[in-house]
Structure 1
Amino acid sequence: MHAMAFSVVPTPVSGTAPRRPPESAALSETDLALVEALQVAPRAPWTRIAAAVGIDATTAARRWNWLVRGGLAWMTAYAAPPGMPVAYIDVACRPDRLHDVGARLSATPHVFSIERTAGPYQLLLYVIARDLTDLDAFVTDCLGRTDGVRDGVSAVRVSLRSRTYREGSGWLVHALDSEQRRRLVPRDGHPAPRHVPPLGEADARLLRALGGDGRRPCAELARECALSETTVRRRLARLQRHPDVHFRCDVAQRAAGWPVIATYRLSVPADELAATGAALAALRETRLCVAVTGTANLLLSTWVRSTAECHALETRIRRRFPRLRVTERELTLHTLKRMGRLLDPQGRAIGHVPPGVARLAR
C-alpha cells in the first residue's frame, strides 16, 4: 500500500487552542436553540438566526463563537457522492493496543468516524472509498497489517451501505417549535433544481475550505479559493441546494444532554425494509439509519439520555415492528472522531482531519 501522510487541523480553524469550559458544562436552552437554528439554516445571517432563537444578532454570534472555541459545537460541510461505497467496519483489537490503533485510524481521512464500543468488536469505523477495490485494499492492506488488530477471519466485519434513511446531518436538537423553524427558511427560497450539475473543481475547493468551519465568511473563502466574492456567493447558494452536499451543525452530545450512543443491528424482512427504515429514521433518537449488507440488514444509531432509555426505545421499536429482530446491540464508550472532527472523552472537538478518499489499491 502506498504511504500516505495526513494533516490534523486544530480546532478552531484559526489554529488557536480551544478555551475549555468546565468539565460539567452543559448547554443552555438558548444554546440548544442556537444549534438547531444552524442545523436548519447553516449559513443564514445572524439577524435571521437571532430572530428565530429570540435573542439579538450580536449575542447569537458571540454565543456561537464561545461554543466553537470550547469545542461544544461546530459546523462543517462535505460532499457525499452517491457512487462511492460507504462501509461500516467492526474491528476487534488487542486491549493493550486499542489506543494506538484508534489514534492511527483517526488520522486517516477516509475513516470519517470512529467509535470505541463495548462488545466483541472494540472499534466501529465509518469508511468511504473510491470503489470496492479500494475498500478491499483498506481492509486487507491497512487493517490487515495494523499492529493491534486481532488475527483471524472474525477480527474484521464489513457491512456496505445500500440505502440511507437518515444520517447525522438530518438530526435535529428539537429545541425550536415549528414557528421558529419557519422563520429560518425564507419564503422566496429557491426550489431544489431539477437538473443537478456535477460538482466541479471550484466547488471542491470551496468544500475543502468549509470543512473546518461551514460558516466562514465569503470574503475569506474567496481569498483562499482564488475566486471572486460574487462567484463564491453564487456557488455557495448552489451547493446548499445540491443533494450530494451537506452542511452539518454538530454538538458535543454529553454537554447537550445525550450522553449515551446505542447502536443496533436489525434484521427486517426484505419487503418491509424500506417502510421500517423510513419510520425508524423519523424517530427523534435516530442519528443514523441505513440499509446494509449482511445478516442484519439495517444499522440504527441512536442518541439517548440514559442507558435505561435504551430498553424503552427498543421496546417501542419491537412493538411497532413485530417482525423486526434485534441481532446485536452495543453502547459507545468514546467517539474518537465524528465526520472528520476529532473528539475528546467528553465529546468536545479538539481537531479536524478533513474527510476524503485516497487511492489505496496497489
Structure 2
Amino acid sequence: MSTESSAATTLTTADLTLVRALQREPRATWTRVGAVVGTDATTAARRWERLHKAGLAWLTAYVTPPTWTVGYVDLACTPDRLLAVGEEVCRWPPVFSVERTTSDHQLFLGIAARCYHAMDTLVTKRLGVIPGVRSVRMAVATHIHREGGGWTVGPDQHEPSRTSLPLPQFWQDGSVRTIVDALGTDGRLSSAELARRCGVGESVVRRVLARLLRNGELAFRCDLAHVAAGWPVIAGYRLDVPADVLDRVAAAVAALPETRLSAAVVGRGNLVVSTWLRNPADTTGYEARLLRTAPGVRVLDRAVTLTMPKRMGRLLDQAGRAVGYQQILPAGGHPVPGG
C-alpha cells in the first residue's frame, strides 16, 4: 500500500474505544470487550480483526523491561549512509525500537541486553563499526517510570507502570519460550490456538500463562498506528534533573497524558522522555509543562521523530502501520518477544 493511502486511513472513535478496552484488559473475552465498548462479541471481534489486518492496531506480549538491561543509543551518521544504517539496525533482534529524528544524532535506538557486558559488546563491536556511523552516544536505564505499554487511549491516557521479577529457571523450559514467542506475534491467540502452534497441551498453555502473569514476568501491550490515531508527532527530550528530585520529576513527567516514555538513565542527562502529540506546535506547550514539574531541570536535547520504522519489535511503515514483526532477542540471552 502506498504511503499516501496509508496516511489517509484513520481510526474512528469506535476503533479507539475498542483499542482502549484491549489496552486495559488485553486478553479479555470478546463478550466482555463487547460489553465494555457497547456492542456484541462478534462485532467486537470482527472490528479488531479488521484493525489488526490493516496494521492499524496490534496486541503483543513481551517480557517486562526490568528483566532486561535496557539502553538508549543515539547514532550520528553520515548523510549518505543514514538510511542504510537505519535499515540495518532494524534487522537486529536486540534493537527493539528505531527512530530517525531531527537531532544531530539522527538515529535513536532502544536496545535490550542480558547484562552490561553484552550491551557493551553490542554497542562497541556491532553498532560502532557499521559503515557510516560517526558517533555513538549511550545511556543505560535505571528505572522506567512509564513505557508505551502503560499508555492508553482516553482522557487519562496512562496507566501505572509495570514491574516484574528477574527471570527464574522456569524460563529455561523450552515450551515457555515457545508460547511467549507466539504471543509476541499475536497476543490475542487463544489457549487452544497456542497449544496447536506450539505443540503442547492446552493445559500446559494455561499453566504457563497463569504463572507468568502471576509473577509479573509477562506483559501484554495493545498498540496502534500513531498517525492514524491522531498523534502524528513524536517528540523526544533528554533532561538533566537534580538527583535529589529525579524520582519525583520522572513520575510527574510520566503522569502527563502525552508521555509515552519516562526513563531515568545514566548517560547524557538522567531522564529520557518521549511523547505523542497532535501537531508540531504542541511541542512548545508540552515542554513548558514538563519544565514546570521541577524548576532547575535543563533540556539537553530535543528532537522530533521524522519516521519510526520499528517500535518494540513491530516493523512500521511511514504512517506508523504495522507491516511485520521481529522477535526481540536481548544481546547475550534467549529470545523473548517484544512490544
Same fold (TM over 0.5): yes
Q: Deviations over 1:148-204 (max 9, x none)?
A: 212xxxx10000001110111100011699xxx9xxxxxxxxxx9999965422322
| 8 Å Cα contact 2:103/2:301 also seen in 1 | no
Structure 2 counterpart of 1:67: 51
Q: Deviations over 1:213-263 (max 9, x none)?
A: 001121121122222112212322333343231100000000000000111
Change beyond 3 A, Cα 1:52–1:131: same
Matched, 1:275 2:248: yes
DSSP-derived class of the 2:273 partner? strand
Deviation at 1:104? Answer: 1.0
Q: Which runs of 5+ in 2 are unaligned?
A: 334-339
Is residue 2:129 matched to residue 1:145? yes
Q: Count how many residue pairs are aligned between Structure 1 and Structure 2.
A: 326
CA distance in 1 between counterparts of 2:6 and 2:96 reads 28
Judge which range, 167-176 or 57-66, deviates more. 167-176
| 1:165 matched residue in structure 2 | 145
Unaligned runs of 5+ in 1: 1-16, 182-191
Inter-partner Cα distance in structure 2 for 1:276 and 1:111: 28
CA distance in 1, matches of 2:81, 2:54: 30
Classify the secondary structure of the residue corresponding to 1:330.
strand
Residue aligned with 2:35, SS: helix
- The alignment partner of 2:129 has SS state of coil
Find the partner of 1:136 among 110, 116, 120.
120
1:29 aligns to 2:2 (yes or no):
no
One-letter identity of the residue aligned with 1:160: V
Identity of matched residues, %: 49
- 1:328-339 matches, cutoff 5 A: 328-339=301-312
2:266 is aligned, of 266, 280, 293, to 293
2:330 is the counterpart of 1:357: yes
- Please give the secondary structure, in 1, of the residue aligned with 2:8: coil
Contact conserved, 1:32 with 1:175, CA < 8 A, in 2?
A: no
SS at match of 1:327: strand
Kept after mapping to 2: 8 A contact 1:167/1:288: yes
Distance change >3 Å, CA 175–CA 311, structure 1 → 2? closer
Match of residue 41 from structure 1: 25
- Bigger Rg, which one: 1
RMSD: 2.5
What's 1:84 paired with?
68
Please, which of 303, 318, 327 is the counterpart of residue 276 of structure 2?
A: 303
Deviations 1:78-99 (A, max 9, x none): 1136353111000011111112
How far, CA to CA, are the matches of 1:161 and 1:331 in structure 2? 21
Q: Is the 8 A contact 1:166 1:290 kept in 2?
A: yes
**AA paired with 1:84?**
W
> Residue 52 of structure 1 aligns with which residue?
36
Query: Counterpart of 1:113?
Result: 97
Q: TM-score normalized by structure 2?
A: 0.90
Q: Which has the higher strand share?
A: 2
Matched, 1:322 2:295: yes
Deviation at 1:69, TM superposition (A): 0.8
Given that residues 6 and 319 in structure 2 are in contact (C-alpha distance below 8 angstroms), is that contact kept between their aligned partners in structure 1?
A: no
Residue by residue over 1:263-298, the C-alpha shift from the partner in whole angstroms, topping out at 9 and shown as x without a partner, is: 111111111011111111111101010100124100
The amino acid of 2:154's aligned partner reads: H
Local SS of the residue matching 1:297: strand
Shift, 1:338, TM fit = 0.3
Cα drift, residue 123 of structure 1: 0.3
Does the C-alpha gap of structure 1 residues 146 and 65 become closer, same or farther in structure 2, counting only changes over 3 Å?
same
